[in-house]
Amino acid sequence: MSNPVGATDRTKVRRAPSKTVNEREVVNAILDAGLVAHVACVVDGQPYVMPVGYARVDDKVIFHGSSASRLFKALAAGQPTCFTVTLLDGLVLARSAFESSMNYRCVIALGTCEVLEGTSKEQALLDITEHLLPGRTAHARVTAPQEDKATLMLALDLNEVSCKVSDKFPEEDPDDLVDIRYSNIWAGIVPMKEVFGEPIPDPLTVEKGIPTPDYVKTWER
């Protein structure tokens, strides 16, 4: 296969390489479907992993955090990072606990972050809001100067990426398939999915009788 997602020796899949996906379209689809990423950072020799909301824009992922955060300051200063998005699609039940597993889609990106400023930062905030809350940017108050100052906006190029997808039935121990006892154990996949619940208005919304916006009613996972 070609190397469109920028895999390198560091991101080459060595464990279960058959699950490797190299197509950029698949990588983009996974990133576009996710809402939360986990970003690694080392500060004073201590590794940390923090969850962030994010968005993909072309061949970058963008995310933001507090400008007072020592972790975000480290990333802004060029600390190498690992950015990971995992979507859990199901539990895979084999006839043995050892062979049981999960079906998932996962993208990992390595690199250093770029700090976005000015109009690029403003657009990135809109992009993240639209990814997480589609339709909200046309209704929500714009960011105030003090809020902008309190926010660090980072971008990570998708130049060094690995992607794995697991979507199979369990890989069974051959002996279990013919064993009188174990071959009669139920095995298969239990799918998992995210769903949005019924919107719950806050007290002021209830007091003013503000209806739920149509764009919120149409959100689907």
Kindly report the number of other CB atoms within 10 A of residue 1's CB atom.
8
Mean pLDDT of all residues in 193-205:
94
Closest CA to 115 of 163, 78, 169, 161: 78
Closest CA to 39 of 92, 115, 108: 108
Kindly report the number of other CB atoms within 10 A of residue 95's CB atom.
21
Closest CA to 111 of 185, 220, 1, 8: 8
Q: Please, what is the average pLDDT of the chain?
A: 92
DSSP state of 216: H
Mean pLDDT of all residues in 154-164:
94
User: pLDDT tens-digit profile of 108-129?
Assistant: 999 999 999 999 999 999 999 9
- How high is the pLDDT of residue 3? 46
- Where residue 4 falls among pLDDT bands split at 50, 70, 90? low
Mean pLDDT of all residues in 14-39:
85
Domains along the chain with CATH numbers:
17-217 (2.30.110.10)
What are the C-alpha distances in Å from 189 to residues 89, 102, 145, 193? Answer: 10, 9, 50, 13
Distance, in Å, from the CA atom of 74 to the CA atom of 102, rounded to the nearest integer, reads: 34
Share of the chain above pLDDT 70, in %: 92
- Where residue 197 falls among pLDDT bands split at 50, 70, 90? very high
Distance, in Å, from the CA atom of 160 to the CA atom of 65, rounded to the nearest integer, reads: 23
User: pLDDT tens-digit profile of 27-58?
Assistant: 999 999 999 999 999 999 999 999 999 999 99
| 3-class DSSP assignment, residue 151 | strand
- How high is the pLDDT of residue 21? 72
Give kind and range of the element (H or E) at residue 110. strand 101-111
Q: What is the model's pTM?
A: 0.89
